A and B are shown apart, each in its own frame.
Chain A
Amino acid sequence: MDLLWQTAVNATYAASYMALIAVGLVMIFGVMGVINFAHGELYMLGAYCVVFLYAQENFPFLLAVAAGLVFVGLVGIVMERTMFRPLRDNPLGGLIASIGFLLILQTLVVFGFGRRMGHVPPSTQGKTEIFGAILTHQRLFVIVAAILLLAALWAFLKRSKFGRALRACAQDAEAASLQGISLNQTARMAMFIGAGLAGVAGALTAPLVSPTPYIGHSIIVTAFIIIIVGGVGSLEGAVIAAVLYAFVHTFVTTFFDGVIANIVGLALMLAVLIVRPTGLFGARERA
């Protein structure tokens, strides 16, 4: 029973950072119609912001996390301007270009920090016991931050003018631009938020995962599974699918092993694609 409960706590932690990553990916896809293959590397970049600012230069952890969000968000804006905007009519081209960008980011980080695992000391040693399960404060911090950030994003999208413009573009870009919404501005905003969320997820989890320049690969695989299961283009679906996937994956890892868990996750995605190709919560297929 203890093990079950502990696994559930672990799964909650996994779900929270995966949700941040997946929501960012869905947002980029929603507004630009591009699958950002470099999303895992944006996560990696966020983690290395913490490696550099917190572990090497001794800035406060929170500041390093905030810097990760802003810096990776700005990288997102660069991607939008240089690749996704000129390739707006060519979704496959955008995907391919993002693969190229991923290779560049990986190499730059290898140049700056080497191939080996970056070590990040924990920012807090505290832990809390919840009904016999142990939750370190480092993990608790990720969970709380994810909930706050996603709530803020939700409020932003539903309440602010910019948020409404963003949702309009995701629904129908042409109609939105006829209403005087600037597609470029909206795409830039979506890219900043989407990339920033991946960056902040990387920054938050850096002390827990020992980042390497190649960590993005497993992240993007996971993110793909989540956005497919949740329905590409649905933010709520991405969050629910992240929770679902994290629980399935964590439980299978605990009771079998990691590779079997990956196989189960991929099979789950394949099953969803076969039965409901638009995902559990996706409403429509984007052409």
Chain B
Amino acid sequence: MPAAGTGGLIRRAAWRLRLVLLFAALAALPYLLSYSQQEIAVLLVINVLLVSSYRLLTLTGEWSLGHVVIMGVGAYTSALLAKQAGVPVPLSMLLGGAMAAGTAALLSFPLFRMKGFYFLIGSFAAGEIIRLIWKRFTDPFGGPKGLKRIDPFPDIETGFLSIDFYEPVNYYFLALAVVSVSLFVLYRIERSRIGLTFHAIHWQDRLAESVGVDTFRYRTLAFVIASFFAGIAGGLYAHYVGAVNPTRFSVDQMVYVLVWAIVGGTATFHGPVLGVVVLTVINEIVLRALGLDTARPLIYGLILILAVLYLPNGLESLGPRLRALWQRRRGEPAAAGREPA
């Protein structure tokens, strides 16, 4: 046993080392970027939380088209609480998350009567209704123009330390901290009994039911947890950008989330994160540098189609695939004799 024990220890140490390196790289990152790239980095961090929370929902096998609207519920709630009720901003963000979770809990009654394609369309309809309500009712939602001049995250001012969150670098670290904690929680949930039950519902819902799992309650639970974190992402967004409007949470934006998740692959925790990071870098940095702004949707569309056709398990499957290819190459001399071309 001691051998296995040290092996595990080494592996765990290597994993920790990698995590430390990752955080070091993330901490150094904003200083290597231009101002506008720093702003993109902030939004990217927020989108990582959005797409990771979306993945939790897809664990149970349901694909929603309302996730961005749920994010909007968090954004609108937090903005309104801060603007009109004077709630301090960090608290208002949490309440925004809670509101998003509550909305999800309420929506689960009609939506989880449906499955698959019907759930997809049902979630789309529910989301559109919420979005149109924001658009229609100027008081308090601001109508089509939305809410402007949302209170920013309060500056930290102590004697020797002063942090102004208007600076993208500082907001980047704030978002990074919030998102890291959230991802850790999401990860733990997936590895817990609850997470295993989600998987069971996805692959064998009849079997799970027959051994006494209340699939409706677990689906709702996944939906509520995912929505809470989407709401937090919305709060982070609202107090960074300072403005929200109904168009920002339209189905076009949802398409992007879907693309990130699909292109990255939803089988593993890091898949969607990989998807959003790679596509954002391609989108914001490579395409912008090439001056292909108008062609961007076209290239996005092509990537999407090619990914679905040729990389159905997402970018995450690329690593293992290449490794397998590499190993086959190295084993080729031995295999070549057996298989005549």
Interface residues in chain A, defined as those with a beta carbon under 8 Å from any beta carbon in chain B: 35, 82-83, 86-87, 90-93, 95-97, 99-104, 106-108, 110-111, 217, 221, 224-225, 228, 232, 257, 259-260, 262-263, 266-267, 269-270, 273-274, 277, 285-286
Which chain B residues numbered 305 to 322 have a C-beta less than 8 Å away from chain A? 305, 308-309, 312
Question: Which chain A residues lie closer than 8 Å to B258 at the CB level?
Answer: 96, 99
Q: Assuming A83-B305, A93-B308, A224-B121, is B128 touching A100 (CB within 8 A)? A: no
Question: Which chain B residues lie closer than 8 Å to A96 at the CB level?
Answer: 258-259, 262, 304, 308
Q: Smallest distance from the beta carbon of A225 to chain B beta carbons, Å?
A: 8
Contacting pair B128 A262 (CB below 8 A):
yes
Q: Smallest distance from the beta carbon of A285 to chain B beta carbons, Å?
A: 8
Question: Which chain B residues lie closer than 8 Å to A286 at the CB level?
Answer: 117
A-side interface mostly:
helix
Question: Which chain A residues lie closer than 8 Å to B114 at the CB level?
Answer: 273, 277
Out of B113, B294, B300, name the residue touching A110 (CB < 8 Å): B294
Asked whether any CB of chain A lies closer than 8 Å to the CB of B21, the reply is no
Question: Which chain B residues lie closer than 8 Å to A106 at the CB level?
Answer: 297
Which chain B residues numbered 249 to 306 have a C-beta less than 8 Å away from chain A? 251-252, 255, 258-259, 262, 294-298, 300-305
Given contacts A97-B305, A259-B132, 7 further A-B contacts (CB under 8 A): A83-B305, A83-B309, A86-B309, A99-B259, A221-B128, A232-B117, A273-B113
CB-defined A-B contacts under 8 Å, sample of 15: A35-B117, A87-B309, A91-B117, A93-B309, A97-B304, A97-B305, A103-B301, A106-B297, A107-B295, A111-B294, A257-B136, A262-B128, A273-B118, A273-B125, A277-B113
Out of A90, A225, A270, name the residue touching B126 (CB < 8 Å): A270
B-side interface mostly:
helix
User: In the complex, what residue of chain A is closest to B124 when comparing beta carbons?
Assistant: A224
Question: Which chain B residues lie closer than 8 Å to A111 at the CB level?
Answer: 294-295
Q: Assuming A96-B262, A104-B302, A224-B124, is B308 touching A270 (CB within 8 A)? A: no
How many Å lie between the Cα of A175 and that of B128 in the bound state? 39
Contacting pair A269 B308 (CB below 8 A):
no
Contacting pair A266 B128 (CB below 8 A):
yes
